[in-house]
Amino acid sequence: MKQIFVLGSFIVDLTCYTPHLPQKGETVLAGPFRIGAGGKGSNQAIAASRAGASVYFMSKIGADDFGDIARKTLLTENIDFRHIVEDTVNETGTALIMVDKNTGENMITVSLGTCNHITLAEVRNCEADIAGSQLFITQLETNIEATLEGLKIAREHHVKTMLDPAPIQDFMHSIYPDIDYFTPNETEASELSGIEVTDIKSAETAAGIFIARGVKNVIITLGKQGVVIKNNEVCEHMPAYKAGKVIDTTGAGDTFNGSFAVAIAEGKSFVEAVKFGCAAASIAVTKQGTASAMPKREKIEALLAGIWSKTA
């Protein structure tokens, strides 16, 4: 079993399912309402664990009821959380999520809480476990100093790195050469590249810009259109798999990232790892919820093998 280290956010999701997403100034009657574990870091850690990796997770939580949810969730998911730090001053992060019951599309706002107060010393305390991993994953849902320090430690120990640039923050362009796998969605790719990503061709153009900046491998996720991948050897569009009706797209990108990371850590090729991640995400969107919808490895392999209908 390969080891993956995730540095990122734990955030509690407060989710409402609506008949349609509200317009500016509109009040919409909604339901049902759910509270669950979330945050890009936690989501990607759970996806990686379910896909078959040994996962270490570093984050920061408050001394509150939402912090208790973090510990219970990570314990249930067999994730090593020895590097979770408790903050007695700031609250655990929270996300307010609205999901259109008809299309599965969502709108999300995030309050980072404690995740915005991770210190450099707290990240450095993780050095031995980062060094012992096959892949280091991080996002931009913590204070940027923590993200940069984690990437620095990983590179010092020649550990492959993956950055999900969400939610977009200002960060130094000099870190692009430190990123082995870069996984923006179309919105993030548009803002960071300066190219409006609306289709496969524009996604390929944006991916080329990131390669020119020093990123080794780029994956731009395009929702139901699948993904566009690019490095110095391949530029390819890969469609999403059909696993059933799309119910909820929340966390699909995190499912892709965590599952893709496992495949890379296990030595699969770039293309094969992307297929593995696409299959996982395609399953996740057929269920309500974020972490709760993420598939275990046998489900992913069943879809890839073409026997999904017998296991769903």
Structural domains of the chain, with CATH: 3-23+31-303 (3.40.1190.20)
Q: In whole angstroms, what is the distance from residue 234 CA to residue 231 CA?
A: 5
pLDDT band at residue 170, thresholds of 50, 70 and 90? Answer: confident
pLDDT band at residue 288, thresholds of 50, 70 and 90? Answer: confident
pLDDT digits (tens, 9 = 90+) for 25-45: 999 998 889 898 889 999 999
pTM of the model: 0.92
pLDDT digits (tens, 9 = 90+) for 44-73: 999 999 999 999 999 999 999 999 999 999
**Mean of per-residue pLDDT scores for the chain:** 93
Look up tokens 């079993």; give the residue. Answer: 1
pLDDT the model gives residue 247: 86
In angstroms and rounded to an integer, the radius of gyration of the C-alpha atoms of the chain is 18
pLDDT the model gives residue 250: 83
The catalytic residues are: 254
Q: Give mean pLDDT, residues 221-226.
A: 88
pLDDT digits (tens, 9 = 90+) for 104-150: 888 888 899 999 999 999 999 999 999 999 999 999 999 999 999 99
Written as six digits, the tokens of 124 are: 């450095």
pLDDT band at residue 310, thresholds of 50, 70 and 90? Answer: very low
Q: Which residue has the higher pLDDT, 161 or 292?
A: 161
pLDDT band at residue 312, thresholds of 50, 70 and 90? Answer: very low
Q: Give mean pLDDT, residues 218-223.
A: 94
pLDDT the model gives residue 309: 62
Q: In whole angstroms, what is the distance from residue 261 CA to residue 159 CA?
A: 13
Q: Give mean pLDDT, residues 150-179.
A: 91
- Report helix angle 270-284 to 297-304, nearest 10: 110
pLDDT the model gives residue 308: 65
pLDDT digits (tens, 9 = 90+) for 194-214: 999 999 999 999 999 999 999
Q: Give mean pLDDT, residues 169-182.
A: 87
Q: Contact at 8 Å (CB) between 200 and 229?
A: no
